[in-house]
Amino acid sequence: MQGNGHIVWEGASLINGAPILVLLTGTVRPSSNRKTGWMLQTWIIPKECHPTEAIQTGQDESVCGSCVLRGNLGKNRICYVNQMSLGQIYKAYKAGQYTPLHTTHRLSGRDLRIASYGEATALPFKVWQNLICYSRIHTGYTHRWRECDSQWLGHLQASVESVQDKLEANSKGWFTFRIKRSDEPKEPDEVICPASLNPGVVTCQDCGLCNGKQRNITVDVHGIGSRTF
């Protein structure tokens, strides 16, 4: 694997049937995301539309579903994902810089971030399973915990934005990742995200708690739309 990025999968979105693809980056060089550390990053994007255009026109439904953090690039958008990074990744893909990933076993022992952008459950579980089984650790989240394939239970954190949703997800067997206002207390069974408590010292790669198997995590809302949360 000579390049830094690869095409993992292409197919129809399980959310609305539109064509989507999954790109993997970080095989040779780490991303600029200091919070995660050198984890392999995976990006779920529309195949036939620039990600920024998809956000502006609503075509991001194919990769984001009904995520409440979606919205136009304006005031209603809370999603933390850096649009510049998305654009650069899409540009590299269109320029033919990413080759198909044929041998997942060559990623053995690496650390995996499932869905750096997009909804992991927009594609079949077996696609991710091939990556998870070779990874040292993985992290991942889903807003579709109410309707996704039950095989995801124990592999992803349920993304929630309220205590009520946290309790519901817990009752269904999910561990949660809850964003909250800075003046809102954590619940007794929640752990504050260690990487957010110790920026530059602890990374997601060091921590690995967000694997769907261990704890309920909470973090203060951050990113471009945090003021509107």
**pLDDT exceeds cutoff 80 at 222:** no
Domain count, the chain: 1
Q: Which two tokens stand for residue 162?
A: 């309220």
3-state class (DSSP) for residue 78: coil
Q: Which two tokens stand for residue 219?
A: 């973090």
pLDDT at 62: 92
pLDDT at 77: 55
Provide the pLDDT confidence category of residue 226 given band limits of 50, 70 and 90. Answer: low
Q: Name the residue range of residue 117's domain.
A: 5-228
Assign residue 126 a region (left: φ > 0; alpha: ψ between -120 and 50; beta: otherwise): alpha
**Would you say 20 and 62 are in contact if contact means Cβ atoms under 8 Å apart?**
yes
Q: How many CB atoms sit inside 10 A of residue 222's CB?
A: 14
Gap between the Cα atoms of 12 and 10, Å rounded? 7
pLDDT average, residue stretch 82-97: 82
**pLDDT exceeds cutoff 50 at 73:** no
The reported pTM is 0.86
**pLDDT-wise least confident of 30-39, 89-98, 201-210:** 30-39
Q: Which residues contact 113 (CB under 8 A, 6 or more apart)?
A: 36, 39, 40, 41, 42, 138, 139, 140, 204
pLDDT at 88: 85
Provide the pLDDT confidence category of residue 74 given band limits of 50, 70 and 90. Answer: very low
pLDDT at 190: 97
pLDDT average, residue stretch 168-173: 97
Gap between the Cα atoms of 59 and 56, Å rounded? 8
Q: Where are the alpha helices (DSSP H) in the chain?
A: 51-57, 61-64, 83-94, 125-132, 163-171, 194-197, 204-207
**pLDDT exceeds cutoff 70 at 72:** no
pLDDT at 71: 60
pLDDT at 32: 67
**pLDDT-wise least confident of 70-79, 128-137, 147-156:** 70-79
**pLDDT exceeds cutoff 50 at 3:** yes
pLDDT at 1: 44
| Closest among 27, 31, 21 to 4, alpha carbons compared | 27
